[in-house]
């Protein structure tokens, strides 16, 4: 047959079975895409997510609440250590510690003295249930959460910060 289409529906100049891609070509293309993704994705590490940031705030609030309860039960003051330089909050009544990753910033507003005693980087809870108060913020990119300790009641609350 000269010109036109071949009787089997194949285009002129093609052998039967040559239409489309081979499995080998598809596997090679997928391997190249996977290699590029494998090189690019680690460089785009998202860091600490907003839900994880909230979880850090909840962990910190939990330590504050546990230390307040310990002060009430034991009848002695208990202080929760807040170290902004190492991004660490440590319980004064137990071994619980919250360590924040390097991409999370911690700010603290703490009293200089509590019940007439100088305090250094801590939130103190008194046997009466009161505290000396303080605020600790866990932030990433200007957004995050504040953990606030009320000086009068010793109550702890978590408040969002920097949400648009």
- pLDDT at residue 8 tops 60: no
- What structural domains and CATH numbers belong to the chain? 50-161 (3.55.40.10)
pLDDT on residue 77: 94
Please give the share of the chain, as a percent, with pLDDT higher than 90. 61
Q: What is the mean pLDDT of residues 124-142?
A: 94
pLDDT on residue 162: 73
Q: Nearest Cα to 63, choosing from 134, 162, 113, 142?
A: 134
pLDDT on residue 148: 97
β strands within the chain, DSSP E: 78-83, 88-90, 97-99, 105-109, 113-114, 117-118, 122-125, 134-140, 143-149, 156-161
pLDDT on residue 38: 77
**What's CA 66's distance to the chain center, in Å?**
22
Please give the share of the chain, as a percent, with pLDDT higher than 70. 84
pLDDT tens digits, 10-29: 555 556 666 777 888 888 98
pLDDT tens digits, 36-80: 877 766 665 578 888 999 999 999 999 999 999 999 999 999 999
Place of tokens 């010793």: 154
């Amino acid at each position: 047959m000269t010109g036109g289409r071949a009787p089997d529906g194949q285009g002129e100049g093609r052998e039967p079975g040559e239409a489309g891609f081979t499995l080998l070509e598809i596997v090679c293309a997928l391997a190249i895409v996977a290699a590029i993704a494998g090189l690019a994705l680690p460089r785009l590490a998202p860091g600490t997510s907003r839900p994880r940031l909230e979880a850090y705030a909840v962990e910190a609030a939990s330590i504050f609440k546990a230390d307040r309860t310990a002060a009430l039960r034991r009848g002695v003051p208990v202080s929760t250590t807040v170290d902004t330089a190492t991004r660490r909050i440590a319980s004064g009544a137990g071994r619980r510690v919250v360590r924040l990753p390097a991409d999370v910033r911690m700010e603290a507003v703490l009293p200089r003295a509590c019940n007439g005693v100088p305090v250094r980087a801590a939130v103190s809870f008194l046997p009466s249930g009161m505290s000396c108060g303080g605020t600790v913020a866990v932030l990433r990119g200007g957004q995050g959460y504040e953990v606030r300790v009320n000086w009068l009641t010793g109550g702890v609350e978590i408040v969002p910060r920097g949400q648009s």
